């Protein structure tokens, strides 16, 4: 390295200082805000899918019935199998894709709603196995974070816990992750 390059490059101490300040600024973002955004992000794809399954109140669209009865197959151990109880499966999927995202966004029963959507994600993975890197893996990751850390303070779960004098869990900042 010549002296001209050495004089214009920042000192290693300066780089560490900038990095520390940047990380410190990120740590100012409230975890509850991050968890709120994550709840919306996890809920949206399921909500959109659920809305498209219905033609009216508890009336499945003809396309949904056709997909569950004719198109959707479970891919297990190298074989494909028809969807068991296709109409019931369609109703349960449609109800779950409407109800669970609402609970997730409200932060009510968040961990259980996330678990329900994670189970749905696993079933969807068995139906559409090629979509795991673009859809199912990100969904599962978001839902696992919500199951682990909970909804945060901007949630009905937090308000209910405080109302009944129950402890509320705050995300712990693990020093090992810094």
Residues 59-115 have pLDDT tens digits of: 999 999 999 999 999 999 999 999 999 999 999 999 999 999 999 999 999 999 999
| Cβ atoms of 157 and 169 closer than 8 Å | no
| Cβ atoms of 114 and 147 closer than 8 Å | yes
Tens digit of pLDDT for each residue in 11-39?
678 898 998 899 899 889 998 999 999 99
Q: Give the CA distances from residue 84 to residues 30, 41, 69, 126, in Å, rounded to whole numbers and listed in that order.
A: 44, 30, 9, 13
- Distance separating alpha carbons of residues 148 and 130, to the nearest angstrom: 27
- Distance separating alpha carbons of residues 112 and 151, to the nearest angstrom: 11
pLDDT, average across residues 121-140: 94
E strands, 70-156, are 73-76, 79-82
pLDDT in the model for residue 129: 92
- Distance separating alpha carbons of residues 98 and 60, to the nearest angstrom: 13
Which range of residues forms the domain containing residue 20?
3-177
Number of domains in the chain: 1
pLDDT in the model for residue 178: 41
- Distance separating alpha carbons of residues 81 and 134, to the nearest angstrom: 24
- Distance separating alpha carbons of residues 137 and 153, to the nearest angstrom: 26
pLDDT in the model for residue 171: 53
CA dihedral 109, 110, 115, 118 (to 10 degrees): 140
């Amino acid at each position: 390295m010549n002296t001209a390059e050495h004089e214009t490059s920042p000192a290693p101490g300066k780089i560490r200082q900038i990095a520390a300040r940047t990380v410190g600024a990120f740590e100012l973002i409230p975890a509850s805000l991050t968890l709120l955004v994550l709840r919306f992000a996890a809920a949206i794809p399921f909500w959109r899918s659920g809305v498209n399954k219905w033609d009216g109140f508890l009336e499945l669209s003809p396309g949904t019935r056709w997909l569950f009865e004719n198109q959707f197959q479970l891919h297990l151990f190298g074989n494909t199998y028809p969807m068991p109880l296709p109409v019931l499966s369609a109703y349960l999927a449609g109800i779950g894709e409407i109800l669970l995202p609402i609970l997730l966004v409200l932060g009510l029963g968040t961990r259980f709603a996330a678990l329900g959507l994670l189970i749905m994600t696993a079933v969807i993975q068995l139906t559409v196995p090629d979509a795991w890197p673009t859809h199912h893996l990100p969904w599962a990751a978001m839902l696992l974070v919500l199951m682990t850390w909970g909804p945060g303070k901007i949630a009905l779960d937090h308000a209910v816990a405080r109302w009944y004098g129950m402890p509320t869990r705050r995300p712990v900042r693990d020093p090992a992750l810094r």
